[in-house]
Structure 1
């Protein structure tokens, strides 16, 4: 009986798939060989650990980029062609849009490289290497070292290690802590700043379903956009220039046209943002009752006010489209997270874990001395944080969540240089402000912002304890008898910060007095200074206590469970998660299939609802069933599919890779039933929602006619009978050709009764090695 198939490069699985199971964890790729490789093989991985992560040779890691620091992208051609999510590229598409050239509505496609659009401020980071520097960072630090001295030494060492790794600024480098300060790693990146927009579908494809379908399954969204990375002719990173040439990645992902089945291996490679899975029950309570509750309340009001004006005017709709989408995303997430924590009894589960920890600590005198007070210290710290935390949340969500207030906040560095009478620093502050001012007013509508200001300031005044509010702000509110519409009339009639012309005039001749007399600046500066001087110090003391206790708690957990392999929380560093294609049942009597099709797009169509408009050409292609090679073996055009990969924010745009190292989709969302993902993994409900790469190719090729882009890619079909003209794609690459020959030879040997054999083939630079053991 065939028990195991092990391949070291491109290979097809001949065994019955192993039973699918959820695989929790976002793992550092450099540790895969030691921690996860065997488990990944069992689930269908057919690459070596070296082919996933290598410092000395081209590997999968070289195809993955941090896109702008907020998403993930991946190379799909030898000419620097990069793909990510539509919502990741949305602000770039929006920045090039206008009522006359509405790329958000119509889509954008560069039919040649000279038509690709530059994006100021956008960058991609490509990992060179990561290294464990824990010993260097913690050298000489003992339990007797004070927290203040510990923090100072660690900060100095992290900075020094990062500076050394940058090699005099050649690389972007930084050190990050893991396991709540128990381990440290340095990350070294090449940063490329010439990133040009290549293609994006219309929002009716890229955002199909809009806010209604956000975080939901089933999904029918073509969530992708395309960019190209450029470099200087000598191969080094360089600012935008017409003389730059397309970047040549060390590795790019071949694209799979094959069907996906339940149990198929899936790997997500990307830059997940932040998780807090070691957070205790005390932290979870604060998250649910303060952060999420406040975020839901404030964002609900802001989104409603924005939408009123967006629905009335096309120019306002374009200006606020990106801001609305960004704000809405975590508004809905917070709702789902609170519901999920309640459904999963997450807080009760944490309490049970903490009881076990306390019993373990108390069972040994030495452990009790080190860990016995950890949980009580955490509880005390959170109790004090809770008293002041609302001021921090409202500062970010309400005060700086108002556009005029945020612009006023950006003027504080200039104000400080004016107070110091430092002419050189003032000039630098002005130069730093100018691009921010341009970007601000490009997408600004003063009447809309004025309504938001009145609503947010009212919430701030009513919800924050009065002894935590600045006197200047309270006096201004009292002057208008608590009428925030009148306060808004005064501020927006007398502040120069709400007018682009007046702001630019001020920057020509800035003065400390004029800033101090500006009512918008007075409000934001008084609230911020009150926070810095009166609230932040109280929070800092508790946070320091919490940091130490959390560090000891995580260290104790790992000591208490020596046989458990722990993974660190996500922190925007490159991670890998693995799992399988898998359906799920969200409730009794309901089973969600693992993929959706274009049929579902048409079934949801509603011409009266902008979230569910279907482009005329897409309908024509659907009616003709003109799917080409991109249909599945049943003749369906798959739009999206789900896996049980562990992901979070920042993974948007991450490649979903099969066991052969081929791109089969892009991760773009999580599901509503598992919104607890940042805090706790749900093995039953957690799903990663992905756009199928064949739908992406269909939109590029059949819908947009951008065949120039298809021609750059390497398409591979490892067997998809009946899928349009997919048979033609089988011979498109040397990899596919050699793979098919190897599979056929293996089948013949199995038929002849051989139970153990090895096949090695080579054609040019392509190698295949297959080993079958009984």
Structure 2
């Protein structure tokens, strides 16, 4: 019980200096509420999260289990990032009907486009179930036994916790497994594309500007949630109707100014704020450099083809963006960790921690933690590097090898469960591979393979490189595989997988592409993964104990929030500029003038649509402009990460003011170490979104759905600026 009393104190003690954090919305009363109020918030915690009445949480669904979105009308209109909906936009695009290049706007609901597999998930309620989950684990000696018991307990909670039949129970770990929370959710499966600007707006600046400020990207797309006649989740059907939300976000037309309160609500994916210094050293010195180099090589090759072939550009647009996103993030992360001296700061914090251990008399329990970390991270190092090389080359960046790895898993299934399981999975694989080959070019992939397989041979620890690859001539190997392997076309893979299990396996073994992948995957499966997983399990157990010690031994005023784990969180701060380097200062707001300053006609990244140029020249901004300018983006001190893409930026009164989509490059290390001096999140100003929907696209029917407000005037305003009584 002592630990959870401490958790309560950490949330209840009033401290007003903002230091970042991603907080559980059901636990905001106390310290967080006081801090948020001191920063300018006018809401209460119940306005943000309430089980019994509608609250902000009811307007913020998880978008396709990766990004965040927000409901902005009583008809289920959903706003998220352009890059979050990129795959859906791409799937509807062709060379002759290119929604990526030209944009798309449904002018009525019958024109809205369905997206099989796309989901939006709402949180119904959150409960602490720690006691139930850890029950019966105290007497277990091994970590594997503890985790097995915990998983059994979690499954029991999932099965027995009360919910409606159309809802789902999920349990997630917090504080490295020192706390467990139950999430009851509703997942809507009919989500249709409503509108998207062209990539020249939604992806303006593309990879050059990614993770960069100043930013001028209109990174948004509109979808709509559909439900059955009872307003409940349902598979796609023409009989479905627009979802009526419990709450939707009003939209403020007042804009932002320096020091304005901001709150970002969403589903941050993963942070590692409590890693020991030795772990950060391994990331900075070993893992990130390997990842960066591999993706750098792949991206340069893909980019060269995309710039010269429109069909390839469409095929690889989504893949390229996905690969480039974390490539650039890792570069900035390394730079930021070094610049902020994060490793030295962590070591100083660890020295203070050890003093607290000694002062509390807990040497027997916690005294060897840091030494044990040193031992384990040294032991895992070669396996961690080998794992990264295999994952990056074989499962993420060379598509032929990625397909080969799927076949490898099929073979493993045959060995484990027999022919029938193999045949069942084979048919599923064939179906799913159609989409992969639709966006595949063997010409591009061949060049990527040739470069990356050479990097694999040189960079992976020698003991993890197959003997056949060590002896091979890379150029000859590449030509042989891409001229003879069935894995280069969908027709080829279909023929390869035709027949009974035994004949398919025989054909697979004879395929040169599969032969190489199998040699690599055998080493990964037999030599890397088991050892890596075993050591990592020990590290995870040690990290849990370390987290428990931090919670127990830190002073009451310490700011200790749980790492992100793709669950609903609140982060808050203020609109602020920043100074990333000596004599350099960035203002917190950009305008359309900056778009025009970056404009390069016909450029892949910085072209501008003619219609937008016309609106700029005429200064035709409607009610969305301010002092003769059109605001585009702004930054604030909210602590965000991947998964917060598409999160609503909310003002002090609970109105939508922006759409989160990125962070500044100098602060991308905030997943590991948050520095309030330079860490900033980047948001599209909601007025730019409305300006594009209204003035650029002419989709005024969508504006009419929304509730536009002027919080300072306490009146609502429609698109043409006429006042009307504000809805309560």
| TM-score when normalising by structure 1 | 0.88
Q: Using the TM superposition, give the Cα deviation of residue 54 of structure 1 relative to its aligned residue in structure 2, in angstroms.
A: 1.1
Structure 1 residue aligned with 2:530 = 537
Cα distance in 1 for partners of 2:416, 2:154 equals: 31
- 1:21, 1:579 within 8 Å by CA — same for their partners in 2? no
Cα distance in 2 for partners of 1:115, 1:728 equals: 25
**Structure 2 residue aligned with 1:310, among 306, 327, 336?**
306
**Structure 1 residue aligned with 2:635, among 616, 627, 642?**
642
Structure 1 residue aligned with 2:149 = 153
Structure 2 residue aligned with 1:614 = 608
Write the deviation string for residues 629-668 of structure 1: whole angstroms up to 9, x where unpaired.
1012x12110011111110111000000001110000011
Cα distance in 2 for partners of 1:508, 1:247 equals: 44
For structure 2, the residue ranges without an aligned partner over 5 or more in a row are 1-14
Q: Using the TM superposition, give the Cα deviation of residue 420 of structure 1 relative to its aligned residue in structure 2, in angstroms.
A: 6.3
CA spacing shift, 1:506–1:240, aligned 2, 3 Å: farther
Structure 2 residue aligned with 1:623 = 617
1:587 aligns with 2:581: yes
Structure 1 residue aligned with 2:7 = none
1:501 aligns with 2:491: yes
Correspondence 1:198-209 to 2 at 5 A: 198-209=194-205
- 1:582, 1:643 within 8 Å by CA — same for their partners in 2? yes
- 1:714, 1:732 within 8 Å by CA — same for their partners in 2? no
Write the deviation string for residues 350-380 of structure 1: whole angstroms up to 9, x where unpaired.
1111111122223454x00100111111111
Cα distance in 2 for partners of 1:644, 1:348 equals: 23
Structure 2 residue aligned with 1:687 = 680
Which SS does the other structure have where 1:586 is aligned? strand
CA spacing shift, 1:440–1:370, aligned 2, 3 Å: same
Correspondence 1:73-112 to 2 at 5 A: 73-112=69-108
Cα distance in 2 for partners of 1:527, 1:695 equals: 49
Q: Using the TM superposition, give the Cα deviation of residue 48 of structure 1 relative to its aligned residue in structure 2, in angstroms.
A: 2.0
Write the deviation string for residues 659-703 of structure 1: whole angstroms up to 9, x where unpaired.
111000001110011121100111101111100000000000000
Structure 1 residue aligned with 2:345 = 349
Q: Using the TM superposition, give the Cα deviation of residue 726 of structure 1 relative to its aligned residue in structure 2, in angstroms.
A: 8.1
Structure 2 residue aligned with 1:516 = 509
- 1:258, 1:720 within 8 Å by CA — same for their partners in 2? no
- 1:165, 1:171 within 8 Å by CA — same for their partners in 2? no
Cα distance in 1 for partners of 2:650, 2:590 equals: 19
**Structure 1 residue aligned with 2:222, among 213, 222, 226?**
226
Cα distance in 1 for partners of 2:16, 2:702 equals: 35
Structure 1 residue aligned with 2:365 = 370
- 1:20, 1:263 within 8 Å by CA — same for their partners in 2? no
Structure 1 residue aligned with 2:177 = 181
Which SS does the other structure have where 1:629 is aligned? helix
CA spacing shift, 1:336–1:485, aligned 2, 3 Å: same
Moved more, 581-590 or 387-396: 581-590
Cα distance in 2 for partners of 1:520, 1:339 equals: 37
Q: Using the TM superposition, give the Cα deviation of residue 719 of structure 1 relative to its aligned residue in structure 2, in angstroms.
A: 4.7
- 1:23, 1:578 within 8 Å by CA — same for their partners in 2? no
Q: Using the TM superposition, give the Cα deviation of residue 259 of structure 1 relative to its aligned residue in structure 2, in angstroms.
A: 2.8
Structure 2 residue aligned with 1:759 = none
Structure 2 residue aligned with 1:746 = none
- 1:175, 1:186 within 8 Å by CA — same for their partners in 2? yes
Structure 2 residue aligned with 1:71 = 67
Write the deviation string for residues 535-582 of structure 1: whole angstroms up to 9, x where unpaired.
222222321221222111111112221412410000110000011111
Structure 1 residue aligned with 2:158 = 162
Which SS does the other structure have where 1:585 is aligned? strand
Q: Using the TM superposition, give the Cα deviation of residue 733 of structure 1 relative to its aligned residue in structure 2, in angstroms.
A: 4.6
Q: Using the TM superposition, give the Cα deviation of residue 202 of structure 1 relative to its aligned residue in structure 2, in angstroms.
A: 0.6
Which SS does the other structure have where 2:605 is aligned? helix
Cα distance in 2 for partners of 1:423, 1:144 equals: 38
Q: Using the TM superposition, give the Cα deviation of residue 419 of structure 1 relative to its aligned residue in structure 2, in angstroms.
A: 4.7
- 2:598, 2:606 within 8 Å by CA — same for their partners in 1? yes
**Structure 1 residue aligned with 2:591, among 587, 597, 600?**
597
Q: Using the TM superposition, give the Cα deviation of residue 21 of structure 1 relative to its aligned residue in structure 2, in angstroms.
A: 6.0
1:711 aligns with 2:701: no
Structure 1 residue aligned with 2:124 = 128
Which SS does the other structure have where 2:70 is aligned? strand
CA spacing shift, 1:169–1:372, aligned 2, 3 Å: farther
Q: Using the TM superposition, give the Cα deviation of residue 47 of structure 1 relative to its aligned residue in structure 2, in angstroms.
A: 1.7
For structure 1, the residue ranges without an aligned partner over 5 or more in a row are 1-18, 736-765, 767-774
CA spacing shift, 1:362–1:123, aligned 2, 3 Å: same
Cα distance in 2 for partners of 1:416, 1:140 equals: 34
Cα distance in 1 for partners of 2:177, 2:509 equals: 42
Structure 1 residue aligned with 2:9 = none
Correspondence 1:179-258 to 2 at 5 A: 179-258=175-254
1:395 aligns with 2:385: no
- 1:477, 1:484 within 8 Å by CA — same for their partners in 2? no
Larger radius of gyration: 1
Q: Using the TM superposition, give the Cα deviation of residue 382 of structure 1 relative to its aligned residue in structure 2, in angstroms.
A: 0.4
CA spacing shift, 1:412–1:46, aligned 2, 3 Å: same
Structure 2 residue aligned with 1:731 = 723
Which SS does the other structure have where 1:667 is aligned? strand
Which SS does the other structure have where 1:570 is aligned? coil
Cα distance in 1 for partners of 2:145, 2:162 equals: 26
Which SS does the other structure have where 1:448 is aligned? helix
Cα distance in 2 for partners of 1:98, 1:245 equals: 28
**Structure 2 residue aligned with 1:702, among 689, 695, 698?**
695
Cα distance in 1 for partners of 2:604, 2:479 equals: 33
1:384 aligns with 2:365: no
**Structure 1 residue aligned with 2:563, among 566, 569, 575?**
569
Moved more, 376-385 or 603-612: 603-612
Which SS does the other structure have where 1:180 is aligned? helix
Which SS does the other structure have where 2:84 is aligned? helix
Q: Using the TM superposition, give the Cα deviation of residue 174 of structure 1 relative to its aligned residue in structure 2, in angstroms.
A: 2.2
Cα distance in 2 for partners of 1:21, 1:587 equals: 23
CA spacing shift, 1:729–1:214, aligned 2, 3 Å: same
- 1:20, 1:580 within 8 Å by CA — same for their partners in 2? no
- 2:16, 2:34 within 8 Å by CA — same for their partners in 1? no
Which SS does the other structure have where 1:130 is aligned? strand
Correspondence 1:449-464 to 2 at 5 A: 449-464=445-460
1:483 aligns with 2:477: no
After superposition, the CA RMSD in angstroms is 2.1
1:433 aligns with 2:429: yes
- 2:63, 2:119 within 8 Å by CA — same for their partners in 1? yes
Cα distance in 1 for partners of 2:416, 2:657 equals: 57
Cα distance in 2 for partners of 1:169, 1:315 equals: 45
Cα distance in 1 for partners of 2:177, 2:24 equals: 16
